[in-house]
Structure 1
Amino acid sequence: MIRIHTPLAALSPLLAIAALASGCPSATPEARDAAPAAPAHAASGEATLFLMADIRGVLRPCGCTVDLQKGGFDRLAPYLAKERERHPDAKLLHAGPIFFEEGHVEADKRAQRVRQAEVAADLVARVGVDVAAATAADAAASDGKLKALGERAHLTLTAANLRLEADPGLSAFEVRTIGGIRIGIFALASPEEAEHLGARGLIEEPTAAATRTVAALADRADVVLLLSGLGLRETKRLVRKVAGIHFAVVGGMGEHPAVSEEAELVGDTRVMQFHREGRFVGRLTLALVAGKTAFVDASQASPAELAELDARVARLEQSLAGWEAKGDGTEREVRSARHHLASLKDERNKLAARKIEVPRDQSSFSFTLTPLNWDLPQDPDLLAIMDAFEQELAKINVANAGTLPAPKEGEAYYVGAAKCFDCHEGPERFWKQDRHHDAWATLERDNKTFDTECVSCHVTGYGKAGGSLVGQVKGRTAVQCEACHGPGSLHVKDSKKASINGHPTAEVCQGCHNKHHSPEFDFAVYKPKLMVPGHGLPPLPDEDDDE
């Protein structure tokens, strides 16, 4: 049952006193670093903020497809270091879950996720996140240890509508003064996450919490920024209802959303969206004139930024030309380079096209969304931390892998591709040239053979009778016949029995080729590529493979 917290102000005086006496946390806790209330003044100044959302404990990109090869703390750190040379007073803010993917963690993945959250906290500390939204997903998945993770990450957690039993002092808002501008920062957790909290805490209805918090910031901040965990649609609905929110960073987004690169004007609020898992970094620069908060959009790149992008394009073109001329680089590496080159050129052209003149007496802002692309430099120290974690997973996940279920009488179990190829020679030749054959090799190359997030889709029969588990993959590595056609023991005994799935549907493929790992997957496009003689098509005359 979802538990929505009602503000104490809405209770009768007697009930409010009883709630306070029983230890119920205050509905309006003071911000830890909030500036004291001060008389209104017409502030002027310039401030830069770096913005991210929904890192969700991901240390580096999945890499399943080239369009996912963005992000990673190893690339984030050098990028921020260079940007901070230009903007030394800038702060990095984060919306949405930062340590865990979601509030519920599957039992077989819990040990890895808990340790991964600790490593993520260490990396967050290294890159320097200043303020992050406290979310119900992180609170639930950390099992009451969110405060400890925040301290480990050296960041300030805040939420206006989240009350946690393990952290009753969680601030309702924060205020940071940058370049003479007081920026009020508050976060909202999504009520949809309340089911995972249980007795660990309560989530107040967001609109009431936002209205109260904006009022509290009126004398404390010149600009108000929301770190929203509500997702895009609910964030837009909220800012239309609640006046006084100047900027909103949207977290809590779904898988691979269609993200706008603009700071969209919704009501009087500029709403900024992000892809999940730390693939992009936003930079918001505010120029406040005489306290005017009707900001003009002045988003455009400086000559230095365009020159840097031109240099990156030139380096990537040179590397790609060298690979193609010498035949160096794997087919995957070449595809990846081409993808990122096209992405980089597109980014450069969009930025160059923006030409805006802002009157000097008007406040303005500039927002850019930068992908952490494959060609950016990597921090070797952070890379070493992530590599050490991958090595640690062998011990963690093998110890927690459990055992495979025993075959049940009369039910099919997995037997491995070698049994299939006793009869199906044509499909064997095709499979050995197909990417599914190399699925396990990609994990070996990337040191992911003990990662529970990866292994199940790169082996056959994961967790099933006769199949595989982490550390138990002999004879079941790669995506073999049974991964699509189902366990084959009964078919091996009697090939005429209708005991094998001869025509796998899209649902079979989408177990792995889902939005998280293969956002562009289209069953109708890919199925014909697997139709060859003896496998979906009649066998050649000199072969007797069954279809």
Structure 2
Amino acid sequence: MGFWRTRSHRLRARRSDSPRAPSAPRPWLLVGVAALAAGAALIGAPGCKRGSSPPAPAAPVPSLRIYALGGAAGAIEPCGCVKDMLGGVDHAAAFLSQQRKSGVGSLLVGAGPMLFADPTIPPAQRTQALFKADTMARSLKDLGLVAWAPGANDWALGEAELARLRTESGAALLAGNLSGATAGARAAQVVEVGGHKVGLVGVSLPDVRGAGVEGIQVQSAEEALRAGHAQVTAEGADLVVALVAAHRGTALRLAESARGYQLVVVGKGYDQGEANDPPFPPSVIGDALVVQAPNHLQGVGVVDLYVRDGSYRFADGSGLALEEERSSLDRRIEELEARLSEWQRNGASSEEIEARRKDLAELRARRARLAEPSQPTAGSYFRYELVQVRESLGADAQVAKRLEAYYKRVNEHNREAFADAKPPPVPEGQSGYVGVEQCSTCHEAARKFWDGTPHAQAYVTLEREHKQFNLDCVSCHVTGYDKPGGSTVTHVEGLEAVQCENCHGPGSRHVANPTDKTLIRRVPDQGMCASACHHPPHVADDWQVSDAWPKILGPGHGR
């Protein structure tokens, strides 16, 4: 298997090369599963009839498979307004459940913070954050997580809560270089997978911009990796996997110094905010494959290990040496596809479009000549792929039910806990928010147009999914959130949905004196859309305000 080189690499490699719009859905096909299914079909097929072509050789079956997670950081599902977004613990669970039907012995491990989005949580948000961490921990158990090297976020609500959540997850915390309030983290363990003993050794450097975690003492990660390797080897491990929660550069240096490991799984030492990481390229350092899945459950790393003649020294079966050139061509192809689509929309000349299509065809031909790696002829080898977690993978029913219960639980709690939350008062001489009904008395045509836009349904979508009192969601679905004279998580009457004043500013003084045009923002700054809500990961990476702007213009509203 190859691996996920850009967001669209695997799509391009496995689908036709027909041009596409940049925002088109990008379903992922895991080639290993298809190959295993094809091999199983061949094994179970009846004998060939005389004169028929001989069957194709069955695809080799891995000796064992290791799935790797980067820090999920409490991201139980993606939040945004585009289809088939990256992430979702219910989709990851569906993928892993389907994978395990192949019969290949496997285990799931991780590195980096799993439970909370940030290392520190404001007091008002702690109950909701704990509800979410409960949901994540139980879902990690459904995924089959065996162990992870924790990140600083995992201690966000203290050692006792981490210890409880670790028990809920059913997974071990591995961090041999930590002492103190470790929530029961240990150095290493050995698990048996498909007849192979796998040693797991974990280290963590949970520093947040130079500040450590209260109650945690951090010792040498390099020494802990050496000691952990010795421990699992003495316990009979056939191969050894390091789980490293640290800054990527530090993790790669540790991989260079730690000998005897066949696989190093990397995750962040801490995470913060909602930004999604780009995919990280795998590499081979010494004899070890080093992989890092991106945060927020955007992807699952899949390492297939093919053991031959009892050797646990694995050659590269993924062609990583050619990866830089492949990745460069993939990026250029994607950029040119996007530009072609834009030129066609903007009415570029047919000659210019045809010339760029020829350029695109040449790039695709060069990419095709870089053959996918072939199976090594001798010795053990690995293959690696990073699988995008998307809605198109399906949803595990039990995890999906748990997510729904979480949202209902949060709604019920926050409705009461924030019942008295009011917005800041309006300073003297400034405007407060009045709501769309007031605007409609003069701007009837604009109101009629707005009623037909998705912005008018923004709050209804939250109500339908039991999210209208969710602190993670409501701010982008109401008007004037947490602004003077505006709305709060519960104080929303008359300000539900994305109304006029989100773009044109609070309108109380304009309503009182409609002839004074300086009291309202007639033409909003387009940049406010991206800065407020329409930014990754809530929208696709290639989303542009200029493309969306025409959709909010209509009779009485810019036209």
- For the criterion TM > 0.5, the same-fold answer is yes
Note if 1:487 corresponds to 2:506.
yes
| Closer/same/farther in 2, CA of residues 121 and 533 from structure 1, 3 Å limit | same
Specify the alignment match of 1:177 in structure 2: 192
**Offset of residue 386 of structure 1:** 2.0
Structure-1 residue corresponding to 2:16: none
- Of 271, 274, 279, 2:290 maps to 271
Deviations 1:165-186 (A, max 9, x none): 263x421222223344332323
CA distance in 2, matches of 1:190, 1:65: 35
Mapped partners of 2:528, 2:264: distance in 1:
37
Matched, 1:378 2:395: yes
Shift of 1:141: 3.6
Q: Distance in 2 between matches of 1:493 and 1:234?
A: 60
- Which secondary structure state, in structure 1, belongs to the residue aligned with residue 164 of structure 2? helix
One of 524, 533, 537 as aligned partner of 1:512:
533
Q: 1:359 aligns with which of 357, 361, 377?
A: 377
Q: Name the SS for the 1:175 alignment partner.
A: strand
Q: CA deviation at 1:358?
A: 1.9
Sequence identity percentage = 29
Q: CA deviation at 1:111?
A: 1.3
The unaligned stretches of length 5 or more in structure 2 are 1-61, 320-366
The partner residue of 1:388 within 405, 411, 423 is 405
Partners of 2:127 and 2:250 lie apart in 1 by 33
Q: How does 1:113-152 map to 2 (within 5 A)?
A: 113-142=129-158, 144-152=160-168
Q: 1:440 aligns with which of 455, 459, 464?
A: 459
The C-alpha deviation readout for 1:50-78, integer Å capped at 9, x for no partner, is 222222223333353224154333x3334
Residue number in structure 1 paired with 2:544: 522
Query: Deviations along 1:447-491, whole A, 9 cap, x unmatched?
Result: 322222111111111222332222332211111122223322233
Instruction: Output the CA distance in 1 between the equivalents of 2:526 and 2:139.
Output: 41
Partners of 1:134 and 1:159 within 8 A in 2: yes
Assess if the C-alpha contact under 8 Å between 2:287 and 2:314 holds in 1. no
**1:271-297 CA-partner distances (Å, limit 9, x unpaired):** 223233223333322234467554223
Matched, 1:186 2:201: yes
Matches within 5 A, 1:66-465: 66-68=83-85, 70-73=87-90, 75-87=91-103, 89-142=105-158, 144-165=160-181, 167=183, 169-193=184-208, 198-204=213-219, 206-207=221-222, 209-210=224-225, 213-214=228-229, 219-220=234-235, 221-252=237-268, 255-259=275-279, 263-289=282-308, 292=311, 294-299=313-318, 354=372, 356-360=374-378, 362-401=379-418, 402-404=420-422, 405-465=424-484
RMSD after superposition: 3.3
The aligned runs of 1:18-97 (5 Å cut-off) are 46-68=63-85, 70-73=87-90, 75-87=91-103, 89-97=105-113
| In structure 2, distance between residues paired with 1:392 and 1:515 | 27
**One-letter amino acid of the structure 2 residue matched with residue 132 of structure 1:** W
Deviation at 1:354?
4.1
Distance 1:143 1:478, change over 3 A: farther
Report if aligned partners of 2:177, 2:187 keep a CA contact under 8 Å in 1.
yes
SS at match of 1:504: coil
Counterparts of 2:450 and 2:508, CA distance in 1: 20
Residues 212 and 499 (structure 1 numbering): CA distance in 2 closer, same or farther, change over 3 Å?
A: farther
8 Å contact kept, 1:121–1:152: yes
Which digits, 9 at most, give the CA deviation of each residue in 1:104-149, with x for residues without a partner?
2233322111111112222222332111222221112456411111
Report the CA distance shift for 1:420/1:240 in structure 2 as closer, same or farther (over 3 A): farther
Tell me the secondary structure at the aligned position of residue 69 of structure 2. strand
**Counterpart Cα distance in 1 of 2:432 and 2:438:** 12
1:207 CA displacement: 4.5
Aligned equivalents of 1:500 and 1:235: distance in 2?
A: 53
C-alpha distance in 2 between matches for 1:409 and 1:195: 43
Count the aligned residue pairs.
Answer: 441
Q: 2:52: which partner in 1?
A: none
How much has 1:507 moved relative to structure 2? Answer: 4.5
Partner Cα separation in structure 1 for residue 492 and residue 83 of structure 2 = 27
CA displacement at 1:162 relative to structure 2: 3.2
The higher-RCO structure (CA 8 Å, 6+ apart) is 2
TM-score of the pair, normalised by structure 1: 0.71
Q: Is the 8 A contact 1:47 1:178 kept in 2?
A: yes
Distance, in Å, in 2 between the alignment partners of 1:282 and 1:421 is 52
1 CA distance for matches of 2:212 and 2:126? Answer: 16
Q: What TM-score does the superposition give when structure 2 sets the normalisation length?
A: 0.70
CA contact (8 A) 1:63 1:69 kept: no
- Cα distance change on mapping 1:56 and 1:191 into 2, 3 Å: closer
Structure 1 residues 108 and 512: alpha-carbon distance in aligned structure 2, compared to 1, 3 A threshold: farther
Change (3 A) 1:526 1:64: closer
Q: Distance in 2 between matches of 1:205 and 1:528?
A: 56
Query: How many Å separate the matches in 2 of 1:524 and 1:211?
Result: 54
For the residues of structure 1 that align with 2:219 and 2:554, how far apart are their CA atoms? 57
